[in-house]
Amino acid sequence: MAQQLSFDGDVVIVGGGLAGQTLALALHSAGVSVAVVDVLPFSTQLDDRFDGRASALAYTSMRMLDTLGAGARLREFTQRIEDIVVCDGRPDDGLRPGGPGPHSLHFDRHEIHPGADGEPLGWMAENRHARLAMTEAIAPRSDISVFAPARAVDWVRSPAFTDVRLDDGRLLRGRLLVACDGKFSSIRRREGTRTFGWGYGQKGIVATVEHDAPHNGVAYEYFMPSGPFAILPLSGNRSSLVWTEKAAAADALEAMDADGFHEALRARFGNFLGEVRETGPRWTYPLTLNVAERFHADGIAYCGDAARGIHPLAGQGFNLGIRDAAALAEIVAEQKRLGLDLGSTIGLKRYESWRRLDSIALVGATDLFNRLFSNDIAPLRMARGLGLALVDRIPPARRFFMRHAGGEIGDLPKLLRGESLAA
């Protein structure tokens, strides 16, 4: 006798992290029936100790979260990014009191979004709050079927659908399977989709700090020889640090007691925001690049880090996942309206080509910037200082970079323009 199906609908998403939950909301908003599977119960993702990162959300990403009904809740916790300062820091510079030195680049949101209440360059959101806003938006939508905790252990493609087996024996059927199962996606691996990438030999230490002076919504990225050091504004007089170091140095920083870390922090941070203190725990993330050669397999789409996981220096990984979700949901909604096969190769190829350029641009840019800046080689230092100063003096170049960081590039999916997918 055939096994009873626990879900029989349009799309099964494996992986309910930030990308998977965004995609579930996007598909649901278009009238597509959806199931989300995650190894962890959603409540675990909301635990304060689960994810200490904060994400810089591009302004187009926030437009989409607003349209999907998660933005208002998230905005209760977010901080506007008004300016971004990029600087070629050197260890003996420290972080100068009063701000960056002459070889720096300044992005001011007024240049692209003028007016006192113009859109910011982006929004800083602690991941725990982004996860909270997302799960709260999903909870009342009882027709988003959540299977968590459960692990997807097997999947079989038939011409018209894919059956996904969970480790507790339940069986889910979707016309399309989407792998949102992260950088080391087991679906992508088992499908034999090749990836390219490498480890950076660096780790990102993430910590939240409090400082005496207000940050005024300015995000700082200092390129140091060991890797970028980012100071990202959070609500109140707080900032999130992403302190990149070679792996051994990062391990040493992670192991330091509070006094030792405070001393190291003061030496690196300087006092341009007054006295600075670490609040709460420290997290460490090994930094790698993993890019899937294709963004789909037979009846399967890869989304978020499962499609490509990049260096965090540009703060774009989650944004890429949001943009994947926007494009994929729009394609699936259109196919459903036209009565087409949701897992067809034509649709999947369209998804891939829509997302390819943005992905390649960010994979290339983050990798190149990390290589170019993470050293103390004198001629390179001079060249990059000149490069930063040059872009700083060319307003169209500045505006181009701000719009790209805001996700406003190429043919924008509707959700990123703040338009609904509802028919």
Ligand X SMILES: Cc1cc2nc3c(=O)[nH]c(=O)nc-3n(C[C@H](O)[C@H](O)[C@H](O)COP(=O)(O)OP(=O)(O)OC[C@H]3O[C@@H](n4cnc5c(N)ncnc54)[C@H](O)[C@@H]3O)c2cc1C
Which stretches does DSSP call E strand in 225-313?
Answer: 227-234, 238-246, 276-292, 296-297, 300-302, 308-309
Shortest distance, position 134 Cβ to ligand X, whole Å: 10
Pairing state between β 7-14 and 34-37: parallel
Place of tokens 């009882």: 142
Residue with Cβ nearer ligand X (29 or 284): 284
Binding to ligand X by CB under 6 A, coded x per residue (else -) over 43-62, reads ----------x-xx------
Adjacent-strand bridge partners of 85 = 106, 220
Contact between residue 210 and residue 277 where contact means Cβ atoms under 8 Å apart:
yes
Q: Which of 13, 32, 37, 218 binds ligand X (CB under 6 A)?
A: 37
Residue with Cβ nearer ligand X (79 or 316): 316
Contact between residue 144 and residue 28 where contact means Cβ atoms under 8 Å apart:
yes
Question: Residues 97 to 156: which contact ligand X by CB under 6 A?
Answer: 151-152
User: Which range in 9-17, 85-93, 155-163, 385-393 contacts ligand X by CB under 6 A?
Assistant: 9-17
Contact between residue 121 and residue 135 where contact means Cβ atoms under 8 Å apart:
no
C-alpha–C-alpha distance, residues 89 and 381, integer Å: 10
Picking from 156, 139, 161, the residue whose alpha carbon sits closest to that of residue 16 is 139
Q: Which of 11, 12, 13, 14 binds ligand X (CB under 6 A)?
A: 14
Q: Which of 193, 319, 359, 366 binds ligand X (CB under 6 A)?
A: 319
User: Which range in 27-35, 108-116, 309-317, 410-418 contacts ligand X by CB under 6 A?
Assistant: 309-317
C-alpha–C-alpha distance, residues 334 and 361, integer Å: 27
Q: Which of 38, 126, 358, 367 binds ligand X (CB under 6 A)?
A: 38
Q: Which of 20, 228, 233, 343 binds ligand X (CB under 6 A)?
A: 20
Shortest distance, position 58 Cβ to ligand X, whole Å: 7
Mention every residue, 6+ apart, whose C-beta is less than 8 A from residue 37.
12, 13, 14, 15, 16, 147, 148, 150, 151, 152, 164, 166, 172
Residue with Cβ nearer ligand X (5 or 153): 153
Picking from 321, 318, 312, 291, the residue whose alpha carbon sits closest to that of residue 370 is 312
Number of residues that bind ligand X (CB under 6 A): 34
C-alpha–C-alpha distance, residues 308 and 293, integer Å: 9
Interaction of residue 67 with ligand X, rule CB under 6 A: no
Binding to ligand X by CB under 6 A, coded x per residue (else -) over 270-299, reads ---------------x--------------
Contact between residue 174 and residue 11 where contact means Cβ atoms under 8 Å apart:
yes
Residue with Cβ nearer ligand X (55 or 162): 55
Binding to ligand X by CB under 6 A, coded x per residue (else -) over 320-349, reads -x----------------------------
Shortest distance, position 250 Cβ to ligand X, whole Å: 11
Shortest distance, position 41 Cβ to ligand X, whole Å: 10
User: Which range in 96-104, 245-253, 291-299, 304-312 contacts ligand X by CB under 6 A?
Assistant: 304-312
Interaction of residue 174 with ligand X, rule CB under 6 A: no
Residue with Cβ nearer ligand X (64 or 103): 64
C-alpha–C-alpha distance, residues 318 and 310, integer Å: 10
Amino acid occupying residue 247: A
C-alpha–C-alpha distance, residues 52 and 192, integer Å: 33
Residue with Cβ nearer ligand X (100 or 304): 304
Interaction of residue 15 with ligand X, rule CB under 6 A: yes
Interaction of residue 234 with ligand X, rule CB under 6 A: no
What does residue 122 show for φ and ψ, rounded to 5 degrees? Answer: 180, -175
C-alpha–C-alpha distance, residues 109 and 124, integer Å: 14
Shortest distance, position 312 Cβ to ligand X, whole Å: 4
The pair of structure tokens assigned to 126 is 């602690």
Q: Given the rule CB under 6 A, which residues bind ligand X?
A: 14-20, 37-40, 53, 55-56, 151-152, 180-183, 186, 204, 206, 242, 285, 304-305, 312, 315-319, 321
